[in-house]
Amino acid sequence: MEYDDYRYQTDNGSESGQETTTGHKPRILLMGLQRSGKSSIQRVVFNKMPPNDTLYLESTTKIQKEDVTRSFIDFQVWDFPGQINFFETAYDSQEIFGEVGALIFVIDAQDDYREAVNRLHYTVTSAYRVNPNITFEVLIHKVDGLSDDYKIDTQRDIQQRTADALADAQMEHIQLSYYLTSIYDHSIYEAFSKIIQKLIRELPTLENLLNVLCSNSGIDKAYLFDTLTKIYIATDSSPVDMQSYEICSDMIDVIIDIECIYGAQNSASNGTTPSINDVEEDRSATLSSPSLSVGNGGVNGFGGADSLQEQLMSDTSVASEPEAEASSLIKLTNGDVLYLREVNRLLVLICILRQESFEKHGLIDYNFQCFKEAITDVFEFSNTRNKLNSQLADGNELVNNTSE
Ligand SMILES: Nc1nc2c(ncn2[C@@H]2O[C@H](COP(=O)(O)OP(=O)(O)OP(=O)(O)O)[C@@H](O)[C@H]2O)c(=O)[nH]1
């Protein structure tokens, strides 16, 4: 099974599999006023840029299109320059907005946001006229500098102004979702997780599978993460609390760092299996059969964290590597256990459970194998359906061309 088989196609804009037939990937647009933080968000979430480095980003002058690769989430992110109006007749708005999955509008909450709200209204109503299937998402961004009360007030005010403007334009049926975000904490990943989940056709099935896994294995909370972006693509139906999400997301970083130091690649070259079962962190982390990294190069000692991220971004050999499975266990001082299992090279499952429940880990492992097989079936099925849809659409195109 190649890793491409696990990638999703969005449902948006087509039951007919439009994205596949045109060869275009589903798009996520980042729009908003100048300096609102669009490029920073793109770099931090998808290119692993440290948040502080965004201080030196230059203003975007034309649309920056980027394919997200080596990720389960197979799409394009378009970063728009804030100063240009893309609904003017000089631009082909059908071409830009026709196939969009989500339009994310970024508002700088540390600035006077009245102009941004006007632009949001204009953008949403104009894009909706071109493509009513777009999901509209509003990031009330840079909230790191704001008090909790002020954050809530700002969100309420922006929501109210936007709702009033849409009502005046008799377009109150347009749905907008709001998120308070910052690149300096997990809120931006949490927001993207929710945004991406709306575009995943298989989400209800994934949630059901996670519910079954949790209830049969004594797991309190389970997240299915895209390893590269740390976006969770599904979770079970128990409520998500920021703390559990943050700790699971941090676990990915811990494992990648450990993998980077003790990783499998160098032992692959000398033919031995790395034995790192006794890696003692202060939280007693154990890691077995590590393969979370997707690089093929050597391990670069303690300076390796960056190089692993680089490998993550640059390696092209991932698809041809044989599948191996990473797992990891971190015991927390409060008696909880974090348990990570690699589903495939792009996805990891991270569970939170009580230490007593983990004593039956044979059962958990067995249930995980069933879960993994079910996930594989779901994506194989989706993949086959996408291919069929694409062949059907190609056939229709051929018929149309011949009849012309
Ligand atoms: N405090 C804070 N600053 C942020 C955050 N996100 C971005 N910034 C800063 O905002 C400034 C502008 O960010 P950019 O990403 O260049 O903004 P942009 O929207 O792409 O701007 P244009 O390309 O001109 O349209 C940079 O100095 C960032 O460091 C955030 O979450 N919090």
Q: Per residue in 180-198, pLDDT tens?
A: 999 999 999 999 999 988 8
Q: What is the pLDDT of residue 100?
A: 79
Ligand 1: nearest atom to the Cα of 60: 23
How far apart, in whole angstroms, are the C-alpha atoms of residue 154 and residue 110? 10
* Best probe residue, ligand 1, of 35, 63, 113 (max atoms within 8 Å of C-beta): 35
How far apart, in whole angstroms, are the C-alpha atoms of residue 132 and residue 97? 10
**How many beta carbons lie within 10 A of that of residue 268, not counting itself?**
17
Whole-number Å distance, alpha carbon 35 to ligand 1 midpoint, is 5
Which residue's CA is the nearest one to ligand 1's atom 3? Answer: 142
According to DSSP, the residues that pair with 78 across neighbouring strands are: 29, 65
Name the stretches of the chain with pLDDT < 50. 1-23, 266-322
Q: What is the DSSP string of 338-386?
A: EEEEE-SSSEEEEEEEEHHHHTTHHHHHHHHHHHHHHHHHHHHHHHHHH
How far apart, in whole angstroms, are the C-alpha atoms of residue 219 and residue 198? 25
Ligand 1: nearest atom to the Cα of 57: 16
Whole-number Å distance, alpha carbon 59 to ligand 1 midpoint, is 9
- Closest Cα to residue 355, out of 220, 255, 225, 250? 220
Whole-number Å distance, alpha carbon 126 to ligand 1 midpoint, is 25
Q: CB of 351 within 8 A of CB of 329? A: no
Pairing of strands 176-180, 336-342: unpaired
Which residue's CA is the nearest one to ligand 1's atom 10? Answer: 37
Within 6 Å (CB) of ligand 1, which residues are found? Answer: 32, 34-40, 54-55, 57, 59-60, 81-82, 141-142, 144-145, 182-184
Whole-number Å distance, alpha carbon 68 to ligand 1 midpoint, is 21
Whole-number Å distance, alpha carbon 54 to ligand 1 midpoint, is 7
Q: What is the pLDDT of residue 177?
A: 96
CA distances from 31 to 122, 123, 277, 316 (A): 12, 9, 46, 30
Q: What is the ipTM of this complex?
A: 0.98
**Helix 242-262, helix 187-198: angle, nearest 10:** 100
Looking up tokens 């998808």 gives 46
Whole-number Å distance, alpha carbon 55 to ligand 1 midpoint, is 7
* Best probe residue, ligand 1, of 36, 40, 142 (max atoms within 8 Å of C-beta): 40
CATH 3.40.50.2300 fits 27-198, yes or no: no
Q: What is the DSSP string of 12-63?
A: TT-SS-HHHHHTPPPEEEEEESTTSSHHHHHHHHHH---GGGGGGPPPP-S-
Whole-number Å distance, alpha carbon 82 to ligand 1 midpoint, is 11
Joined tokens for residue 98: 């026709």
How far apart, in whole angstroms, are the C-alpha atoms of residue 343 and residue 39? 31
Amino acid at 199: L
Whole-number Å distance, alpha carbon 40 to ligand 1 midpoint, is 5
Q: What is the pLDDT of residue 277?
A: 37
* CATH 3.40.50.300-classified regions of the chain: 27-198
Ligand 1: nearest atom to the Cα of 81: 25
At 304 the three-state DSSP class reads helix
Q: What is the pLDDT of residues 88-131, one digit of tens each?
A: 777 887 888 887 789 999 999 999 999 999 999 999 999 998 88
Whole-number Å distance, alpha carbon 137 to ligand 1 midpoint, is 18
* Best probe residue, ligand 1, of 34, 47, 57, 185 (max atoms within 8 Å of C-beta): 57
Which residue's CA is the nearest one to ligand 1's atom 30? Answer: 142
Ligand 1: nearest atom to the Cα of 51: 29
Domain 203-384 sits in CATH at 3.30.450.190
Q: CB of 182 within 8 A of CB of 188? A: yes
Side-chain-facing half-sphere of 178: CA atoms under 13 Å: 20
Whole-number Å distance, alpha carbon 179 to ligand 1 midpoint, is 16
Looking up tokens 């798009």 gives 27
Whole-number Å distance, alpha carbon 85 to ligand 1 midpoint, is 19
Which residue's CA is the nearest one to ligand 1's atom 13? Answer: 37
Ligand 1: nearest atom to the Cα of 110: 1
Strand order in the sheet with 327-331: 231-235, 219-226, 347-354, 336-342, 327-331, 285-288
Cβ neighbours for 107, distance < 8 A, ≥ 6 positions apart: 32, 33, 36, 113, 116, 117, 120, 138, 139, 140, 141, 158
- Closest Cα to residue 142, out of 133, 125, 154? 154
* CATH 3.30.450.190-classified regions of the chain: 203-384
Joined tokens for residue 2: 């190649």
Which residue's CA is the nearest one to ligand 1's atom 26? Answer: 55
Distance between start and end Cα atoms, the chain: 40
How far apart, in whole angstroms, are the C-alpha atoms of residue 3 and residue 264? 19
The model's pTM? 0.78
How far apart, in whole angstroms, are the C-alpha atoms of residue 198 and residue 40? 23
Pairing of strands 100-108, 327-331: unpaired
